[in-house]
Amino acid sequence: MSGNGNAAATAEENSPKMRVIRVGTRKSQLARIQTDSVVTTLKASYPGLQFEIIAMSTTGDKILDTALSKIGEKSLFTKELEHALEKNEVDLVVHSLKDLPTVLPPGFTIGAICKRENPHDAVVFHPKFVGKTLETLPEKSVVGTSSLRRAAQLQRKFPHLEFRSIRGNLNTRLRKLDEQQEFSAIILATAGLQRMGWHNRVGQILHPEECMYAVGQGALGVEVRAKDQDILDLVGVLHDPETLLRCIAERAFLRHLEGGCSVPVAVHTAMKDGQLYLTGGVWSLDGSDSIQETMQATIHVPAQHEDGPEDDPQLVGITARNIPRGPQLAAQNLGISLANLLLSKGAKNILDVARQLNDAH
């Protein structure tokens, strides 16, 4: 190959033929913003292709009067979108990665994990409490969150507060906070607030010592048909190697613990000097009982390589053929090892009791 022009021409020839790529998404404003960002990146990589966005409502969008942990459905925000993928009505679907179960239905895979935004949780305060922190809120103030993970950790850290479920998309929750007098503050993902352009509503960002985040929080996952090699190749350009490795470790930890949204499980990951650090924890529903540990593994963040596909199965639902396999396996093994360490210290009992209590209420 003699020059960049030839390389570009070859890349264009190798990409799927000129056609419309249909992208599925939830209907919420945040989901549309996230999907638009993915489509913008794909358009820049494939200027010859057209992209059509198809929005639909999911079960989780429709059931708004029940806490997520009570609904007992692992694919609350994904099932209808996967149905459209299966029927070939869309070619790929953009999700918040934390909504995707660690075991996907047969025939699907996560073909790309995009660069992660801030994964931490944020506190948004009622206008009359702007300038406060959770620590300085008055006794018995009510804080809204739909997450058992957040409630368990924060009850332990801030016993003077009460935590109550709040449902709905970001717009709905903010409206409930501002217009009703029930909540003094609500907890939301920082990434969602930033993507919506609502930086000014972030009153406090919670550090890992206060509240570790959900597996995959802040990252977007692109789900595709597992055997659709054209689309797998197309979305592969979206993979961010560091985010991918951190999320493989997190998802492997959660899967091995058999956690889900009906039990409080949280993580924190960091890459530094060739080391991947993974902290994971489990809590009882009221936060009174918990186990947390940290492990690390030597993993160098790889550049994407073009050595051709490696015909290996998925790791925790993820296919990343353009990223070397070794670091991916090391990340997965780190997650499994940390889960085993917690299980050896009694995590299963804490999670079983949490699950039973949650089901009983």
Q: Which residues are catalytic?
A: 99
Using CA atoms, how far residue 353 sits from 262, 263, 281, 286, in Å, is 11, 9, 15, 11
CA 308 to chain centre: 28
Cα atoms in the 13 Å half-sphere on the side-chain side of 25: 23
Residues 6+ apart with CB under 8 A from 89: 22, 24, 54
Comparing CA positions, the residue from 253, 261, 215, 250 lying closest to residue 355 is: 261
Are 276 and 269 contacting, i.e. CB atoms less than 8 angstroms apart? Answer: yes
Q: Residue 140 corresponds to which amino acid?
A: K
Query: 162-164 and 108-113: which strand pairing?
Result: unpaired
Are 145 and 163 contacting, i.e. CB atoms less than 8 angstroms apart? Answer: yes
> Distance between CA 314 and CA 324 in Å, rounded?
13
Quickly count: other Cβ atoms within 10 Å of residue 92's Cβ: 28
> Vertex 152, ends 61 and 357: CA angle to 5°?
80
Are 316 and 333 contacting, i.e. CB atoms less than 8 angstroms apart? Answer: no
